[in-house]
Amino acid sequence: MPELPVVEVVRKSLHKNIKQKKIKKVIIRNRNLRIKIPVNFKSFLIGQKVIKIDRFSKYLILHLSNNSYCLVHLGMSGTIHLINHNKKNNLTNTSFYHSPILPPKHNHIEIIFKNFRIIYNDPRRFGFFQIIKNLNLLKKRFRHLGPEPFQSKFNLEYVFSFFKGKEKNIKNYLLDQKFVSGIGNIYANEILFLSKINPNKKVHLLKKNDCEKIINISKKVLMNAIKKGGSSIKDFKNLSGKNGSFQKNFKVYERKGLSCKRFKCEGVIQKKVISNRSTFFCNICQK
Ligand SMILES: [Zn+2]
């Protein structure tokens, strides 16, 4: 599943390429994404300029020249490819996630500009496009989501008071989008390892100091992934279509049975299912 850093890499790439560009044509090959593409989707987009591309959590937000928005969510397996019309570009994927070149199948939507086109590929079709008519509706759309780790609202006061009296474990809350937006399973595991906190720990038992660690490390882990993701795009050829090189840097994720990477820790990485997600942690240094 593309996590927040992947979506941010896509955002940057799209922003660089389609900002201030006018949509000439739209091709829809399959309307049946997670949310059905509405019949007026084409006519709504054609002729609009894309002013800029923002992101909130894992949602891409295309600002259009008529003051409306087009949301794009990559779901479980979505990728966006950029194809130049004039010069051949072999590496078309706008992120380091999945195939670096355009796959032959599952290309559901094409948005065509003057010199290039962007193509939405999604084998599992859990992603979606959605037109949002104005800023008020956009705000409403995200009202149910908690702050991103990068936002100033995600601070000690917010986190500590949110956890007061709550019985569920910390892993559960890091994945709860009502508490914090955009932390997926991979990064929740990494954040807890770096914070030295056991994923099973009930949140009301966390000290202020623990909460502070979680806040700072969440920002750091996601920022690092964005940086590495960005730079791994040019290494695509060496990766033979596999995941970005940043994955080798995981401390606990997918490391079941291997020794702990923390200096002088003799622990072994465990794997357990917590709130229905694979959870990896060190049996010694995460308390
Ligand atoms: Zn350890």
pLDDT in tens, the chain (287 residues): 788 988 998 999 999 999 999 999 999 999 999 999 999 999 999 999 999 999 999 999 999 999 999 999 999 999 999 999 987 777 888 887 788 889 999 999 999 999 999 999 999 999 999 999 999 999 999 999 999 999 999 999 999 999 999 999 999 999 999 999 999 999 999 999 999 999 999 999 999 999 999 999 999 999 988 887 655 444 443 333 444 444 567 899 989 999 999 999 999 999 999 989 999 999 999 99
Which residue type, as a one-letter code, is found at position 237?
K
The answer to whether residue 110 is catalytic is no
36 phi, psi to nearest 5 deg? -65, 135
Residue 132, beta-bridge partner list: 69
Q: Is the sign of the CA dihedral 15, 224, 250, 162 positive or negative?
A: negative
d(CA 38, CA 129): 9
The answer to whether residue 5 is catalytic is no
d(CA 255, CA 126): 28
**Burial class of 96 by CB neighbour count within 10 A (0 to 12, 13 to 18, 19+):** buried
Catalytic residue among 11, 55, 58, 255: 58
Q: Do the Cβ atoms of 186 and 254 come closer than 8 Å?
A: no
Residue 157 Cα to ligand 1 middle (Å)? 29
Residue 219 Cα to ligand 1 middle (Å)? 22
Residue 189 Cα to ligand 1 middle (Å)? 13
- pLDDT value of residue 248: 60
The answer to whether residue 3 is catalytic is yes
Residue 241 Cα to ligand 1 middle (Å)? 32
The answer to whether residue 58 is catalytic is yes
Residue 266 Cα to ligand 1 middle (Å)? 6
